[in-house]
Structure 1
Amino acid sequence: MNTIALWTATIVATLIFIAGSYERLFRIPKWFENPPHSFGLINQQTKNSSKFWIPLQISFLLSFITTLITNWTLPAVRLYLLFTLASFLLVAIPTATYFVREILAFAKMSADTPATPELLKRSKTWLTWTTSRNLLQLISLLTLIMALKALYK
C-alpha cells in the first residue's frame, strides 16, 4: 500500500507540475497582456480550470496523506515527504489567501476600468509571484521522486 500511495502521489504531482507550467507559460501571460482589457480571458478560463484543478488538488491531497501515513515508519522516505509537505503548504496557503482572491478581483474588473499604475503593479506582482508556485510544485515533485528512490533502496 505504501508503494502504491507514493506512486499515486508522484503521478498526480507530475500532472500538477505539467499543467501548472503549461498555464504559466501559455495561458496566464495572455490574461495579463493588456490589463484590464485582457482580464476578460480570466473569466472564460477559470470556470473550466476549477473543474480541472479542484479534483486534481483533492486527488493529490488524499494520495499524499495516504503516502505520509503509510510511509511514516521509514525515516529516509519520511524526510522527503516532510519536504514535500512544506513545499505543498508554501503553495497552498498563499494560493488560498492571495492568488485566488486577486485573480477573482481581476476577473471582475470591466474592460473599461482605468489601467492605473496601482493596477498594473498589482497585476505584475501577481504574475511575478505566481512563478514561485511553479517552482515549489517542481520541488514537491522532485522530493516525491527522491522519496521513491529512497523507498527502493
Structure 2
Amino acid sequence: MHLLSLWTATIAAAIVFLAGSWERIFRMPHWFADPPRSFALIAPQTKHSARFWIPLQLTFLGSFITALITNWPQPQVRPYLLMALVCFMAVTIPTATYFVKEIIAFSKMTEDTPRTPELLKRSRTWIVWTTSRNILQFISFLLIVWALFNGYY
C-alpha cells in the first residue's frame, strides 16, 4: 500500500506541475499581454479552471496525505514527504490568500479601467510570483519522486 500511495501522489504531483506550467507558459502571457484590455481573456476561463484545478488539487492532497500516512513508518521516505508538504503549503497558502483574489479582481476589470503604473506593477508581480509557484510545484514533485525511489530500497 505504501508504494501504491507514493505512485498515486507522484502522478498527481506531476499533473499539477505540468498543468500549472502549461497554463503559465501558454495562457498567462495572453492574459497579461496588454492589461487591463487583455484581462478580458481571464473571465471566460475562470469556471473551466475552477472545475479543473479544484478536483486536481483535492486529488493530489488526498493522495499525498495517504502517502504520508502509509509511509510515515519509513524513515528513508518521511523527510522527502515532509519537505514536499512544506513546498505544497508554500504554494497553497499564497494561492488561497493572494493569487485567487487577484486573478478574480483582474478578471472583473473592464477594458476602460485605467492602465496605471500600479496596475502594471500588480500584474507583473502576479506573474513573477506565479512563476515561483511553478518552481515550488516542481520541487514538490521531485521530492515525492525521491520519496518513491527511496521507498523501493
TM more than 0.5: yes
How many residues matched?
153
Matches of 2:119 and 2:13, distance apart in 1:
33
Code of the residue aligned with 1:46 in structure 2: it is T
What is the aligned-residue RMSD (CA, Å)? Answer: 0.5
Q: Deviations over 1:110-130 (max 9, x none)?
A: 111010000000001001110
Residue 46 of structure 1: how far off its partner (Å)? 1.4
Matches of 1:10 and 1:108, distance apart in 2:
36
Residue 34 of structure 1: how far off its partner (Å)? 0.3
Q: Give the match for residue 134 of structure 1.
A: 134
Partner secondary structure for residue 144 of structure 1: helix
Code of the residue aligned with 1:108 in structure 2: it is K
Code of the residue aligned with 2:11 in structure 1: it is I
Q: Give the match for residue 8 of structure 2.
A: 8
1:27-106 to structure 2, matched below 5 A, reads: 27-106=27-106
Residue 44 of structure 1: how far off its partner (Å)? 1.1
Residue 45 of structure 1: how far off its partner (Å)? 1.1
Q: Give the match for residue 115 of structure 1.
A: 115
Code of the residue aligned with 2:75 in structure 1: it is P
Q: Unaligned stretches of 5+ in structure 2?
A: none
Code of the residue aligned with 1:67 in structure 2: it is A
Matches of 2:60 and 2:79, distance apart in 1:
18
| Structure 1 residue runs of 4 or more that deviate by more than 3 Å after TM superposition | none
Code of the residue aligned with 1:56 in structure 2: it is L
Matches of 2:64 and 2:19, distance apart in 1:
18
Matches of 1:30 and 1:66, distance apart in 2:
37
Q: Unaligned stretches of 5+ in structure 1?
A: none
Partner secondary structure for residue 76 of structure 1: coil
Residue 102 of structure 1: how far off its partner (Å)? 0.4
Q: Deviations over 1:80-114 (max 9, x none)?
A: 00010000000000000000000000001111101
